[in-house]
Amino acid sequence: MSADAPTRVALFGGSFDPPHVGHVLAASWVLATTDVHALWLLPTYDHPFDKDLTAFEHRRRMCELAFAPLRGVTVNDVESRMKGESYTVLTLERLSSEHPGVAWKLMIGTDLVEQIPRWHQGHRIEELAELLVVGRGGHEPSESEIAMPAVSSTDVRQRLRAGLGVASRVPRSVLAYIEEHGLYRG
């Protein structure tokens, strides 16, 4: 890499409520198959669609635990520092101003690509970051995407509230944290 080449960082945003094995697999795939130098996780601070979220600090800590085995992954708290609703375009603008010269690549699931034009200033997102499209369970991936297991944070929360096991759906460290803090119980 030349000294003039920009640093390339993949951004992986989401509620991560809780982070699950599909998230970890998607991050692993991006790190292994793309030309990024690092991957930053961006837990949502305040969901713009009034989604009820577990406290940010719990979700941030579960992300640190879930992704600890992956070298090159950092949990970034930019959205908590911005406060207010988490809009992708505003987060990209903030990161660009804090880290000039970084080439951003935004990880996004196949299920969300068609929604981008309806997002807050969605037309600007591809001006600020290249899209890295990751397949999601239940959505047919293209040749350049990886198919992910059909697991979701919603499913994990529902199973926990129903007293069902989730050991195959979340990293062991996240399950231990959930149990220690009594999260997602009825």
- Which residues have C-beta within 8 Å of that of residue 46, sequence separation ≥ 6? 53, 79, 83, 84, 85, 86
Evaluate whether residue 186 is within a structural domain: no
DSSP string, 108-162: EETTTGGGGGGSTTGGGHHHH-EEEEE--TTS---TTS----S--HHHHHHHHHT
Distances (CA, A) of 171 to 36, 144, 167, 182, 183: 24, 26, 7, 16, 15
pLDDT at 21 over 80: yes
* Assigned domain for 2 exists: no
Amino acid identity for residue 73 in this structure: V
- Res. 65: pLDDT tops 50: yes
Residue at 154 is within a domain: yes
- Give the pLDDT score at 2: 43
Q: What is the mean pLDDT of the chain?
A: 88
Per-residue pLDDT tens digits for 127-162? 999 999 887 655 565 666 566 677 889 999 999 999
Domain with 146 in it: 7-181
Element containing residue 9 per DSSP (H, E):
strand 7-14
Q: Judge whether 93 lies within some domain.
A: yes
Q: How many domains does the chain have?
A: 1
Task: Beginning with the edge strand found earlier in the chain, give each strand of the sheet holding 7-14 in spatial order.
Answer: 73-75, 38-43, 7-14, 102-109, 130-134
The answer to the question of residue 132 being in a domain is yes
Specify burial of residue 31 (Cβ count, 10 A radius: 0-12, 13-18, 19+): middle
Q: What is the CATH number of the domain that holds 151?
A: 3.40.50.620
The answer as to whether 65 is a domain residue is yes
Mean pLDDT for 36-51 is: 86
pLDDT computed for residue 157 by the predictor: 95
> pTM for the complete prediction?
0.83
